[in-house]
Amino acid sequence: MTIELEQLDPETCDSCGLCCEGIGSPVLIYQTHRNHIGPHPFRPEGLPQPLINEIDETFGGLYRGQEPQERCLWFDPERRRCRHYEWRPQICRDYELGGTACLIRREEERANRQ
């Protein structure tokens, strides 16, 4: 699929999603730990059970960094966006649109395509 980066407005992530690829799946931190007691340290309250089940079934006890790195489990490569944006982990919220890492990532992609 071709990414039309030149169509991207600097103020939007629409159809980009570059920072959701090549970093594994941040949502792995939401998985269920058998030996864990008390509230989950990372899982947001109200996270739908089907999403938890999908994460548990996909990662099956892997630690962060052991999961496939190609793209996040929640990334929709066709629409190039997060499938559950409202539930994204804090690390995804901290990644600043238009920040240094974002601009470098987008510039790298532009350069690769020239």
Q: Which is nearer to ligand SF4, 35 or 49 (CB)?
A: 49
Quick one: residue 16, left, alpha or beta (phi over 0 = left, psi -120 to 50 = alpha)? Answer: alpha
The whole-angstrom separation of Cα 39 and Cα 19 is 29
The reply to whether 13 sits near ligand SF4 by the rule CB under 6 A is: yes
Residue 76: strand, helix, or coil: strand
Shortest spacing between CB 102 and ligand SF4, in angstroms: 3
Q: Which is nearer to ligand SF4, 63 or 101 (CB)?
A: 101
Among positions 31-70, residues that touch ligand SF4 (CB under 6 A) are: none
Q: How far apart are CA 35 and CA 33, in angstroms?
A: 6
Binding footprint of ligand SF4 on the chain (CB under 6 A): 13, 16-20, 26-27, 72, 74-75, 82, 88, 92, 95, 97, 102, 105-106
